[in-house]
Structure 1
């Protein structure tokens, strides 16, 4: 799962900017998986991946707005 998060992480900020979201969605995650040809997008794993990416995104967002 950690490897999948690392592969997805660089693509998240661009989608958040494009769509105006504060947190990545399951639909956006599936879009990245398809576009990049990544495997491991089963529903049970996606929930854990989403949780980790969202926690990282909210921490980063909080830090950047505090500055």
Structure 2
């Protein structure tokens, strides 16, 4: 999973040990889950929530692209 995460780059976020989420498809999020634009809900590890919010806000500020 680590290799895949590196290959996909900054538009994806590892919200749980088994999930990589494409930030372009996030509809909403809560402290324990992320809802995608297709209606699926993905679990988020509670210890990753604060980091996720920072990364997602950075993603949105950059116009939907990963920052450098």
TM-score (norm 2): 0.43
**Higher normalized helix content (fraction of residues):** 1
Give 1 or 2 for the bigger CA radius of gyration.
1
Answer 1 or 2: higher relative contact order, Cα 8 Å, separation at least 6.
1
